[in-house]
C-alpha cells in the first residue's frame, strides 16, 4: 500500500504557528516587508495586536526609505509597536522632523520604550503632549542636540513635565547637556532616573523629590556659574529647600555621580540620605586628591553606607596642576595610592576586595577602581 503524502506549504500552517514564526524574525519589520498585501489572511495576521514590534529607525540613511516607513509601515502598527528609536544623527536629513511631519506619536498607545536622540528643543516641545499621553510607556530616553539657545525656564518646564506628569514611565534618561532645576516631585511610577546635569546646591532638593527612586544617575556641577536660581525655576516662589538631615531616600540602592569640581567632603554630605545604598559609582573631574585615599573612603563606608556592596570609580580625573611634572613625584604618588587601597593583596580594609588601575596624564591622574564586599 502506497502512502501518498502531498507536499505542504507555508500557508498550510495554522495562524498560531505562523505567529510564533513571526515572533522569531529580527527585526520584526521584515514581516511587513515580506508579507504585507500578500493576501487578506496574512494582512490579518501581521495586523494582530499580539504581534509585538520594535523599530530602530535611527540607522536609516535614506530619506526616501524613512519616509516609506513613516507613511506606509508605521500607520499599520499603531497597536503593535512597543519600542521606537529615532535620531537626528544622520547628516542627510532631519529624521525626527520628518517623523513629526508624517506621523502622530500619540497614535502608538502600545509603546513601552521610546528613544529620541539629538532631538531639538522645538521638536521635543511639539511631541511633549503625545509623549505624556502614552500610558504604557515604561522607558524614555531623550538626548537633546543643542539647548544653548533655549531659555532656561522653558527647558525646566519640559523636564519637570516629563518627571512629574507621566503615570507610567519607570525609567527616564534626560540628557539636555545643560543644567536643569527640578522643582516638582517625581512621579510615583518612576524608579530609575538619569539627569545631565544639576548643581551641587540643588542636589539635596532633587533627592527630596525623588524618594521613590531605586536608581539615580546624575551629573553634578560645583556651583551655579551661568544663571541665578530665580531665573531658572518655573514657579512663582523660590524653592523650599530641606536640610540634608531630614531627607531619606529609603528605596535608593544605586547611585551614580558624575562630578565636576566637587570635593570628597561635598560627596560625603549626600550619602547619609541613602541608608540602603548597595552600589555607588563615581566619575568625572576633581581637584581633590582625597578621592584617591582609601582610608578616607573606608571611614565613609563604615559610618555612612553600611549596606554598600559595590563601589566603582570609573576614570575619575584628578587635576594635579604643575605637581604632575616630576617623574619621581609621580612614582611616589602611584605608590601611595596603591598602598592606600592595599591592592598588592587585592584586599582593602576588613571587607573589600579591590581591583584598580591608575594612569598619570599631563597634569592629571586618571583613577579607576572596582571594589566588592566579600
User: Would strands 139-144 and 81-87 be described as parallel, antiparallel, or unpaired?
Assistant: unpaired
pLDDT at 184 over 90: no
pLDDT (tens digit per residue) in 47-60: 888 888 888 998 88
Opening angle at CA 131, ends 105 and 164, nearest 5 = 175
Residue entry with cell 582609601 = 294
Over residues 308-327, mean pLDDT: 81
Residue 47 exposure: Cα atoms within 13 Å on the Cβ side: 12
Of residues 372 and 336, the one with the higher pLDDT is 372
The DSSP code sequence of 41-84 is: HHHHHHT-TTS-EEEE-TT---HHHHHHIIIIIGGG-TTTEEEE
Would you state the pLDDT for residue 7? 66
Prediction pTM value: 0.85
Q: What percent of the chain has pLDDT over 70?
A: 88
Residue 245 exposure: Cα atoms within 13 Å on the Cβ side: 0
pLDDT (tens digit per residue) in 353-367: 888 888 877 788 899
The C-alpha atoms of residue 73 and residue 93 are separated, in whole angstroms, by 19
Residues 6+ apart with CB under 8 A from 59: none
Amino acid at each position: 500500500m502506497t502512502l501518498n503524502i502531498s507536499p505542504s506549504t507555508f500557508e498550510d500552517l495554522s495562524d498560531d504557528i505562523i505567529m510564533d514564526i513571526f515572533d522569531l524574525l529580527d527585526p520584526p519589520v521584515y514581516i511587513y516587508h515580506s508579507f504585507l498585501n500578500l493576501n487578506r489572511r496574512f494582512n490579518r495576521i501581521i495586523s494582530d495586536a499580539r504581534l509585538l514590534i520594535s523599530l530602530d529607525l535611527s540607522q536609516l540613511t535614506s530619506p526616501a526609505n524613512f519616509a516609506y516607513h513613516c507613511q506606509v509601515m508605521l500607520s499599520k502598527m499603531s497597536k503593535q509597536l512597543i519600542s521606537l528609536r529615532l535620531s537626528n544623527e544622520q547628516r542627510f536629513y532631519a529624521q525626527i522632523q520628518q517623523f513629526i511631519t508624517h506621523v502622530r506619536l500619540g497614535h502608538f498607545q502600545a509603546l513601552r520604550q521610546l528613544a529620541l536622540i539629538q532631538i531639538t528643543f522645538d521638536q521635543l516641545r511639539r511631541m511633549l503632549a503625545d509623549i505624556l499621553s502614552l500610558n504604557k510607556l515604561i522607558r524614555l530616553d531623550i538626548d537633546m542636540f543643542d539647548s544653548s539657545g533655549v531659555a532656561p525656564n522653558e527647558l525646566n518646564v519640559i523636564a519637570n513635565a516629563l518627571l512629574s506628569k507621566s503615570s507610567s514611565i519607570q525609567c527616564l534618561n534626560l540628557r539636555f547637556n545643560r543644567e536643569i532645576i527640578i522643582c516638582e516631585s517625581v512621579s510615583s511610577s518612576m524608579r530609575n532616573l538619569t539627569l545631565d546635569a544639576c548643581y551641587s546646591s540643588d542636589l539635596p532638593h532633587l533627592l527630596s523629590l525623588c524618594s521613590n527612586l531605586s536608581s539615580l544617575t546624575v551629573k553634578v556641577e560645583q556651583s551655579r556659574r551661568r544663571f541665578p536660581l530665580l531665573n531658572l525655576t518655573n514657579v512663582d516662589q523660590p524653592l523650599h529647600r530641606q536640610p540634608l538631615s531630614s531627607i531619606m531616600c529609603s528605596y535608593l540602592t544605586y547611585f551614580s555621580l558624575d562630578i565636576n569640581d566637587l570635593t570628597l567632603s561635598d560627596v560625603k554630605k549626600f550619602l547619609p540620605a541613602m541608608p540602603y545604598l548597595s552600589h555607588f559609582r563615581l566619575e568625572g573631574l576633581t581637584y581633590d586628591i582625597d578621592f584617591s585615599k582609601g582610608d578616607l573612603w573606608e571611614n565613609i563606608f563604615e559610618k555612612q553606607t553600611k549596606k554598600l556592596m559595590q563601589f566603582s570609580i570609573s576614570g575619575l580625573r584628578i587635576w594635579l596642576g604643575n605637581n604632575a611634572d616630576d617623574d619621581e613625584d609621580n612614582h611616589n604618588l602611584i605608590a601611595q595610592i596603591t598602598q592606600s587601597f592595599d591592592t598588592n593583596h587585592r584586599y582593602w580594609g576588613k571587607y573589600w576586595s579591590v581591583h584598580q588601575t591608575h594612569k598619570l596624564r599631563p597634569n592629571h591622574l586618571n583613577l579607576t577602581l572596582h571594589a566588592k564586599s566579600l
